[in-house]
Each structure stands twice: as structure tokens, then as C-alpha cells.
């Protein structure tokens, strides 16, 4: 009987972790221009979510001039975009998020940002350099080079101070997201909705990579009966991309083949 309860507890933890991954995935796609897929499992290589972050390709005043805040955003479908590779870990644990996960993700990031190079042969084919597969490999490595790869840590519990220090001082582009648990009765209890507010912590290398864009945590600032449904369900708020004091509408491609 004891082994049954232990197995049930482990199963519940797995379901909770899966639910948190789906919640994170949907939130980031709806509001943060990230298109991710789940890759969790025994052979996930330390990654729970993998995909792309579709950022507007712009200078500080290319999309909306600072002195024209009333001008509507161009259609998100026609904004030029660049993409960054996203490697994400999700932790739905009761204990606070420790710095060991930052060190673990740094190793995962380096593995993906600097993949081992295949040995090249000096041989030529019919007097011409053999550039077919090697050229494609070079293009792939360039597409996912270090400055195009972001490490994302998402936690349902708060980050410890040492965790934040480790991430903020890392040379790896890190984004830490705190997504508190959503209680089932959040829609009927306003105090519960506002009891735990989430947060976003980009470190300096990431800030440099996405500049001039800014990452902000958008908190509910209206009575619960005036909030849009997605804000009520999120309760703790949501991350958002901003430029020149204005929120950028979320957008992702609908193509999953190259993720």
C-alpha cells in the first residue's frame, strides 16, 4: 500500500509538471511571440521546451517613432521579424528555485550554442572543394550561433537571491520567469488573484541581444471584473515586449516543421 501511494504521488508530480509546461508554452505564444514545443522526457538533454522567439527586426524608431505614440502598430503579420533559438526548462516545484538549475542550463546552452564541429576533409571532388553538406552545416551553425540562442528558466516557485545573482552575472543570455500557481477559485476571489505576482528577470547579455526591445511584466491594475479573461486566468500577470513605451502585439509563425 505504501508503494502505491508513493507511485501515485510521483504520477501526480508528473501531471503537475506537464500541466505547467503546457501553461508556460501557451502563455509565451499568446503574449510573448515565442513558438515552442514540448521535448521533455528521459532523453530531453535538459530541455523541456524548444522553439523560436520571433522579435520585430527594428531600430529604436523604425516601427513607431517616439513622438508618434498615437500611431497604430503595423499589422503583426507584415512586421519584419528575426528569430532567436529558445532553450527552456520548466520547474513546478514547491521549494524555491536554486542556482544549481542556472549552472545546469549554462551547460545545456553551451552544448547547443557551440555544437561539436564535424571533421572536414581536404579532399576535393572533380577538382572542386567539397562544399555541399559542409556548407549546409556551416549555415545551420550560423543560424543557431551563440548570439542567437537564449536560455529560459520558468518556475512556479520564487527564485532565490543566489539564483538571481547567478543568472544576472552569467555571460549566457538568460531570462528567468516566475509564474506563480493559478488557484482554481481565482475568478471568484480577487485577493487570491493578486496574492502572488509573477516577474521577469532578463540578464544584461539578453538585454543587449534584444535591444531596443524591452521585457516588462504586465500586472493586473484593474478590478477583476474589468480584466480580460486571459488576465483573470493568469492571475499573476504576464510577460510582454515593449518598444518606445508601447506594447508590441505577440506574433509567431504557424509553421512547426523547423522547430
Band (pLDDT 50/70/90 cuts) for residue 148 is confident
CA atoms within 13 A on the CB side of 202: 17
Predicted local distance difference test score (pLDDT) of residue 46: 84
Predicted local distance difference test score (pLDDT) of residue 25: 94
| Higher pLDDT, residue 168 or 147 | 168
Burial-class residue 202 by CB neighbours within 10 Å (0-12, 13-18, 19+): buried
- Sequence-ordered alpha helix ranges (H) in 32-99: none
Predicted local distance difference test score (pLDDT) of residue 94: 85
> Each residue of 169-200: pLDDT tens digit?
999 999 999 998 865 544 444 444 444 789 99
Claim: this prediction has a pTM higher than 0.85: no
Contacts of 71 (CB under 8 A, 6+ apart): 64, 65
Helices (H) and strands (E) in the chain, counts: 7, 11
> Each residue of 32-69: pLDDT tens digit?
999 999 996 665 678 999 999 999 887 544 445 445 55
Reply yes or no: is the peptide bond before residue 212 cis, omega within 30 of 0: yes
Total Cβ atoms within 10 A of residue 55 = 19
The CA-based dihedral angle spanning residues 8, 13, 17, 20, taken in that order and rounded to the nearest 10 degrees: 100
Q: Is the pLDDT of residue 232 over 60?
A: no
Of 26, 24, 86, the closest CA to residue 54 belongs to: 86
Amino acid at each position: 500500500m505504501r508503494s502505491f501511494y508513493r507511485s501515485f504521488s510521483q504520477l501526480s508530480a508528473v501531471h503537475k509538471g506537464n500541466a505547467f509546461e503546457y501553461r508556460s508554452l501557451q502563455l509565451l505564444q499568446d503574449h510573448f511571440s515565442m513558438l515552442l514545443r514540448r521535448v521533455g522526457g528521459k532523453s530531453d538533454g535538459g530541455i523541456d521546451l524548444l522553439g523560436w522567439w520571433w522579435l520585430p527586426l527594428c531600430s529604436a524608431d523604425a516601427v513607431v517613432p517616439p513622438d508618434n505614440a498615437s500611431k497604430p502598430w503595423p499589422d503583426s503579420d507584415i512586421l519584419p521579424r528575426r528569430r532567436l533559438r529558445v532553450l527552456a526548462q520548466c520547474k513546478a516545484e514547491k521549494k524555491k528555485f536554486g542556482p544549481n538549475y542556472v549552472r545546469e542550463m549554462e551547460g545545456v546552452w553551451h552544448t547547443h550554442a557551440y555544437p561539436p564541429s564535424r571533421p572536414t576533409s581536404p579532399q576535393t571532388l572533380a577538382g572542386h572543394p567539397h562544399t555541399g553538406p559542409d556548407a549546409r552545416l556551416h549555415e545551420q551553425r550560423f543560424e543557431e550561433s551563440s548570439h542567437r540562442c537564449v536560455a529560459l528558466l520558468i518556475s512556479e516557485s520564487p527564485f532565490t537571491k543566489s539564483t538571481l545573482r547567478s543568472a544576472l552575472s552569467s555571460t549566457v543570455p538568460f531570462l528567468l520567469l516566475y509564474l506563480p500557481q493559478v488557484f482554481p477559485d481565482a475568478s471568484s476571489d480577487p485577493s487570491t488573484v493578486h496574492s502572488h505576482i509573477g516577474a521577469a528577470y532578463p540578464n544584461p547579455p539578453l538585454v543587449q541581444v534584444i535591444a531596443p526591445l524591452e521585457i516588462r511584466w504586465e500586472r493586473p491594475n484593474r478590478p477583476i471584473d474589468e480584466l480580460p479573461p486571459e488576465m483573470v486566468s493568469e492571475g499573476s500577470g504576464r510577460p510582454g515586449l515593449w518598444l518606445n513605451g508601447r506594447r508590441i502585439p505577440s506574433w509567431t509563425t504557424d509553421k512547426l516543421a523547423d522547430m
